[in-house]
Structure 1
Amino acid sequence: MSTLAAVPPFASPAGAETPSMKHQWLPFTPNREFKSDPKLFARAQGQYFYDPAGRAILDAGSGLFTTPAGHGRREIADAVHAQLLELDFTPSFLRAHPKSFELADRLAALLPAHIDKLFFVSSGSEAVDTAMKICLAYQRAKGAPGRTMFVSRERAYHGVNFGGVALSGMVNNRRAYGNVVHGVVHMRDTWMEENRFASGQPQFGRERADDLLRLIQLHGAENIAACVVEPVAGSTGVLVPPVGYLERLREICTANGILLVFDEVICGFGRTGEPFAAQSFGVKPDLITMAKAITNGAVPMAAVAVADHVHDAIVNGAPDGAIEFFHGYTWSAHPVSCAAALAALDIYRDERLFERARELSGYFLEQVATLRELPTVTDIRGFGMIAGIDVKADGAPGQRGYDLQKKLFDNGLHLKTTGDCAILAPQFVFTREHVDATVRILRDTIASL
């Protein structure tokens, strides 16, 4: 019997009360339309979500880039349960607990050398805002308090706190709130017509990194604190960096005293074949943000990894007894989150999931590329275990992508859409059979549009 044919059915417990849906306000959702035709997950196990009727829905989005080890991992649940009974909460202000230091050690071993100081937070948005503050604190410690500007990119996504929204370059994320935080300027994105249907890293576009040089010439390097980019721009539709692009950004930042921040909230933890995309592309930033897969999505957690020279400038430059970095959250290094993250890291190591992802990525990208023959598909991009499939707009921008996402749910496949792009981020526990099922459902659904 095939693996997919053996998917066990799940159903909601008998007599379970149906909620009213009157009171919750859903994020990033057209709430009125959703409540007229709700798409609900009731359970999850392994590679599948299940709706309340027990119908299996293949998770080709790893939740929301969060759950590469599959759903319902007993190891993480047991670690969380034990931690709640041992130490359910402790503040991290003037106090700490052993697991937070253990987790920092474990993450430091995965990160590029000398980017090994960890500041814990609870979400990717918090990680980005924290990284911005660290950049400003560093520049002040180095005697450059005038360096307050940030450079980001068009079509970037860096979370929904005010700092991250200011960095973001996706118009709908910026319309209402993007100008509250000033002093952020944007380079062009890296999508180019010449690279349509490119396989892996595009050959054209390295020169777009020189947009950073142009902005330096316009605003003055002495006013710029940091350049913040996603190594692979994820939520916008998977924009893979052209060959030489990230290397050129590093060169320009180094020459001009500007910190380089990699936002790896999506790319981190094996998505590009290495623990972090910085290692996949061989480019070392000064800070790395991470979240999502740090706990396999089981418990909210995030972190900022900071290079030694940045950390030391801030900490060693402060007076004795002073708080060196005046920042933090109630939930920073929450004991339960640390326990979940440690259990997730054990799974990634023991099951060789980063290696398995790297081994499966070639087959995954080859199969996704076969969808280019569909007349509705206008571009496909991918790297490692993430891919974006653009479909031809029909009516208002994004409407066809939204309709596609709903039809995919009905046809048994979960993924994320942004505008008219379907974004695939398979779990690392997928087999070739799961990849085949994903592409088959995609092909049939896109063809029916």
Structure 2
Amino acid sequence: MEMPSGLGDFDPTPNNLEAFWMPFTWNRGFKKDPMLLAEAQDMHYTTTEGKKVLDGTAGLWCCNAGHGRRKIVEAVQATVAKLDYAPSFQVSHPLPFELASRMTNMLSGDYDHVFFCNSGSEAVDSALKIALAYHRVRGDAARTRLIGRERGYHGTGFGGISVGGIVKNRMFWGPLINGVDHLPHTFNLEKQAYSKGQPEWGAHLADELERIVTLHDASTIAAVIVEPVAGSTGVLLPPKGYLKRLREICDKHGILLIFDEVITGFGRLGSSFATEHFDVQPDLITCAKGLTNGTIPMGGVICRKGIYDAFMDWADNTGNTIELFHGYTYTAHPVAAAAALATLDVYKEEGLFERAAELAPYWEDAVHGLKGTRHVIDLRNIGLIAGIELESRPGKPGARAYEAFRKAFDAGVMIRTTGDIIALSPPLIIEKSHIDQIFETIRTILTDLD
């Protein structure tokens, strides 16, 4: 899986760290002691100093096929040389039509259309807009309320942070979008600690949607959006039966159900999407990250049959020629679409979704092998995802996990932290020896950490 030659060299050492305002980063701390990545291949990054770092997080949950994949790189190169850009307003190009067809065919259930965008955040905002507009074009315009969930992460657009439930993602930006309510999150340390896979306790929390319906009346609610597995908040797993119950309540009251699968899509749980893993079909599915293996930004909204048709019927009845007044300059960008098509080829040719399912039991054993390790108060896993929750230092939440993150990087393993939770989500090409390295490194660091 070597990179093709002829890419050219670049100076990996910046002459000034100050001008770049880094996202979700302690900028002052980073710029005093930067961690700079210069290259990536297969399971490893290489720093500007030449040190190899094992990628335990697939970048940011996105490089599911590993790094530097020749087929994807060559597809990007060939496409940018042939068609560097084409709009999708009133004209288009062949690639997104093929991509949308392949995406709908890879899913079980009656999904028949895909709307493309450029990120998970845009996918969420697009899905929310589609849901609102769907009810309007069907003559049900009173359905304007959106229901998210506490501790939910749905990107950083105003729609996403409104339905999201992570406090620091919301607290700076004013009142946000009106008419939003939140379900409780599904995590309970006392009842669920050290569950392997889905916890037994907690399905009843889905019935909180009935309480919200009683409060607002179902006729005002457009959609419920949840992550099947909450990732960025620290790996919170759905209790057994929880997602099916949400689906039942939404069906009962005519509410659309949206699964935010930006993280769980494309093999992370050992199946194409979480909808297949949990055997629950939402009405809309958001995706991004693994769609292009992180190579080129791209996102999408996968629509269940009937959503697109409602817009076509409305347009026919009203004489409108534009059915959905929404889109982006870079919707279905040709280079991104080429990267996505090549990525789907790699997933299929190498059986990476099946590989993730086969490795999941070994991964689970490695995760729960940390039980009893110093500072660990809970371990959570599903597919090739893990959450390792640490006891917080008194008065310093997040400090212990952040120090573990820095020490792991120095020891040659990339992990991710949120608060005092270590989150792991490696590329699906991971070997058992890599799994051993990740958890042995974490065990050693936590044992020596104050």
TM-score, normalising length: structure 2: 0.95
Equivalent AA in structure 2 for residue 89 of structure 1: Y
Which among 209, 220, 223 is matched to residue 212 of structure 1? 209
2:370 match: secondary structure: helix
Report the CA distance between 1:306 and its aligned residue. 0.6
Report the CA distance between 1:16 and its aligned residue. 6.0
Distance 1:178 1:313, change over 3 A: farther
2:175 and 2:430 mapped to 1: Cα distance? 41
Tell me the equivalent position of 1:447. Answer: 447
8 A contact 1:264–1:288 mirrored in 2: yes
8 A contact 1:46–1:72 mirrored in 2: yes
Which among 254, 261, 266 is matched to residue 263 of structure 2? 266
8 A contact 2:117–2:298 mirrored in 1: yes
2:115 match: secondary structure: strand
Report the CA distance between 1:369 and its aligned residue. 0.6
Q: Does 1:82 align with 2:78?
A: yes
Query: What value does the CA root-mean-square deviation take over the aligned residues?
Result: 1.3
1:225 and 1:72 mapped to 2: Cα distance? 42
Report the CA distance between 1:321 and its aligned residue. 4.6
8 A contact 1:271–1:385 mirrored in 2: yes
Distance 1:16 1:101, change over 3 A: closer
Residue-by-residue CA offset, 1:268-311 (whole Å, 9 max, x unaligned): 00111110000000000000000001001000000000111111
8 A contact 1:165–1:178 mirrored in 2: no
Tell me the equivalent position of 2:200. Answer: 203
8 A contact 1:162–1:178 mirrored in 2: no
Distance 1:128 1:411, change over 3 A: same
8 A contact 1:262–1:287 mirrored in 2: yes
1:362 and 1:149 mapped to 2: Cα distance? 41
Distance 1:316 1:45, change over 3 A: same
Residue-by-residue CA offset, 1:153-173 (whole Å, 9 max, x unaligned): 101000000000001111111
Tell me the equivalent position of 1:3. Answer: none
Which among 168, 174, 178 is matched to residue 170 of structure 2? 174
8 A contact 2:114–2:301 mirrored in 1: yes
8 A contact 1:361–1:384 mirrored in 2: yes
Distance 1:53 1:207, change over 3 A: same
Distance 1:84 1:14, change over 3 A: closer
Distance 1:17 1:405, change over 3 A: closer
2:406 and 2:13 mapped to 1: Cα distance? 25
Q: Does 1:412 align with 2:412?
A: yes
Give matches, 1:247-262, under 5 Å: 247-262=244-259
2:12 and 2:111 mapped to 1: Cα distance? 49
2:173 and 2:246 mapped to 1: Cα distance? 28
Distance 1:37 1:240, change over 3 A: same
Residue-by-residue CA offset, 1:332-359 (whole Å, 9 max, x unaligned): 0000000000000000000000000110
Tell me the equivalent position of 2:61. Answer: 65
Tell me the equivalent position of 2:225. Answer: 228
Report the CA distance between 1:14 and its aligned residue. 10
Report the CA distance between 1:178 and its aligned residue. 6.2
Equivalent AA in structure 2 for residue 161 of structure 1: G
Identical-residue share of aligned pairs (%): 47
2:419 and 2:12 mapped to 1: Cα distance? 36
Residue-by-residue CA offset, 1:213-243 (whole Å, 9 max, x unaligned): 1000001101110000000001111111001
Distance 1:159 1:18, change over 3 A: closer
Give matches, 1:395-410, under 5 Å: 395-410=395-410
Report the CA distance between 1:373 and its aligned residue. 1.2
1:405 and 1:60 mapped to 2: Cα distance? 11
The runs of 4+ residues in structure 1 deviating greater than 3 Å are: 12-18
Residue-by-residue CA offset, 1:96-136 (whole Å, 9 max, x unaligned): 11111000111011123212210000000000000000000
Equivalent AA in structure 1 for residue 202 of structure 2: G
1:52 and 1:199 mapped to 2: Cα distance? 38
Q: Which runs of 5+ in 1 are unaligned?
A: 1-11
1:164 and 1:315 mapped to 2: Cα distance? 27
2:45 match: secondary structure: strand
Equivalent AA in structure 2 for residue 322 of structure 1: T
1:298 and 1:374 mapped to 2: Cα distance? 36
Equivalent AA in structure 2 for residue 144 of structure 1: D
Q: Which runs of 5+ in 2 are unaligned?
A: 1-7
Distance 1:381 1:14, change over 3 A: closer
Distance 1:415 1:116, change over 3 A: farther
Q: Number of residues paired by the alignment?
A: 438
1:373 match: secondary structure: coil
Tell me the equivalent position of 1:388. Answer: 387
2:37 match: secondary structure: coil
2:332 and 2:39 mapped to 1: Cα distance? 28
1:14 and 1:306 mapped to 2: Cα distance? 41
Tell me the equivalent position of 2:312. Answer: 315
8 A contact 2:12–2:38 mirrored in 1: no
1:271 match: secondary structure: coil
2:300 match: secondary structure: strand
Tell me the equivalent position of 1:4. Answer: none
